[in-house]
């Protein structure tokens, strides 16, 4: 059961990381 929670956390962290990367790319773009 805890493995599933870990996967969820990893997915959330990865999603947040991608959004952060997009923000970092969009900021210098403008």
pLDDT at 29: 57
pLDDT at 30: 55
The two structure tokens encoding residue 19: 């959004």
Query: What is the tens place of the pLDDT at every residue in 1-30?
Result: 667 788 888 888 888 888 887 777 776 655
The CA-based dihedral angle spanning residues 12, 17, 18, 20, taken in that order and rounded to the nearest 10 degrees:
130
pLDDT at 10: 86
């Amino acid at each position: 059961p805890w493995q599933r929670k870990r996967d969820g956390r990893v997915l959330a962290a990865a999603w947040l990381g991608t959004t952060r990367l997009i923000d970092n790319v969009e900021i210098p773009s403008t």
